[in-house]
A and B are shown apart, each in its own frame.
Chain A
Amino acid sequence: MHNFEFVKPSTVADAVQALAAEEAQPLSGGQTLIPSMKARLNAPEVLVSLMGIAEMQGIRHEGDMLEVGAATTHARVATEAAAAFPGLAGLAAQIGDPAVRNRGTLGGSLANNDPSACYPAAALGTGAVIVTNAREIAADDFFLGMFTTALDEDEIITSVRFPIPQKSAYGKFLQPASRFALTGVFVAKYADGVRVAVTGASENGVFRWSEAEAALASDFSAEALSGLSCPADDMIADLHGSAAYRAHLVAVMTRRAVVAAS
């Protein structure tokens, strides 16, 4: 790994200032960035740790909204969101393994937008608002395809506001070697409709399955989905599964999430 200058500011304002340096990059849990720096896919000259910023940590529950600081670890979300939003806590508890969950963060996961990552499904599946140092971005406008987001250079996610659904669950079909989702589906039921977001399946990253949303809006049950299938056209095909297999998994995991929703 190439060497770099390490800085650890304690406020968002100082972090933004540090990121203005040439070739500077934010570091959260490092569970994605450190392996990719070892592989020399990333070689920042300045690494700005966001883990010492108190205002980016923790969970706040306000009415129908749960706001999670971007630097909050998966492990914390798994325990501290359990009462207010069990669907989100359940998703966080299924990410990677305990050591990954003790370091990896919500902000790092969304900024990275890995096509097989779990959190993008929860953000899109709830219509969350991604709050940055500069603005608020609706989840529907945030994910722009594999490893691509609406974030500008040097813009950092500071928190995410999740509208708490009446019922929700994440159905994850584990890719046992990587521990990521081979295909995962987040289903959320609100008073005014249902959202269904799919990860691990499309070449274009996380997406909403609108046919399933419409079917579930009038009847929130696994039966409402019978006969519905997701087109395999843009699905990922690799040694772990063909495009047709992933399309099939989308329907299966959606049904399982509906059954599990609480």
Chain B
Amino acid sequence: MPRVSMKVNGKPMAAEAEGRTLLSAYLREGLGLTGTHVGCDTSQCGACVVLVDGAAVKACTAFAADLDGAEVTTIEGMANADGSLGRIQQAFQDYHGLQCGFCTPGMVMSTAALLAENPKPTEDEVRHYLEGNICRCTGYQNIVRAVMAASGQDTTALAAE
């Protein structure tokens, strides 16, 4: 089986991968990084979103071999160096932006991509950007609040629940 190498969360890593090994399986089973969740496995829900060379990508809809040499950031790479929650993660906790937490890794990674492109998004821009991330629990209100807070914006003006 060929070996596929990537720089994951800043560290060079490698694991064996068949042609059909998806990026999600490579991360979870090959590298033991189980923070990336597989929800639908049909490209619909966004739970599996990671950053590939800085861009949000559904890890269930890319082959690991096609991304040989890429730089990947997963939810495990979002904490601070001392292990405390990163800025986006902390905002999700502070604003109750999760309930069961299954969608959360994808939500946090999509938020990271959004804020890198657009550091102070409007509420509409947040909702639009997160269209591909589905949450069955929260009703999205607190997710949007968390993203606004993570971008350093006032959340009191957001529409009431």
Contacts and interface: CB of A to CB of B under 8 A. Distances in A.
Contacts of B114: 98
A35 interface: yes
Contacts of B113: 98
A6 B129 contact: no
B43 A31 contact: yes
A98 B56 CA distance: 7
A6 B57 contact: no
A6 B19 contact: yes
Contacts, number: 74
A198 interface: no
Interface in B1-37: 2, 18-20, 22
B58 A99 contact: yes
Interface string A16-49: 0000000000010011001101100000000101
Contacts of B133: 97
A75 B43 contact: no
B97 to A, nearest CB: 18
A6 B66 contact: yes
A38 B58 CA distance: 15
B43 A4 contact: no
A1 interface: yes
Contacts of A51: 66
Interface residues of B, number: 28
Which of B57, B63, B68 has its CB near the most chain A CB atoms (within 10 A)?
A: B63
B64 to A, nearest CB: 9
B17 to A, nearest CB: 9
A218 interface: no
Given A98-B129, A179-B131, A3 B20 contact: yes
Contacts of A6: 2, 19, 63, 65-66
A98 to B, nearest CB: 5
B66 A102 contact: no
Interface of B: 2, 18-20, 22, 41-43, 46, 49, 52, 55-58, 61-63, 65-66, 68, 110, 113-114, 129, 131-133
12 contacts: A3-B19, A30-B61, A38-B41, A47-B63, A97-B132, A98-B131, A98-B132, A99-B56, A99-B61, A102-B52, A103-B61, A103-B62
| Closest 7 pairs between A and B when the two form their complex, measured CB to CB | A97-B132, A6-B19, A102-B55, A6-B65, A99-B56, A99-B58, A4-B19
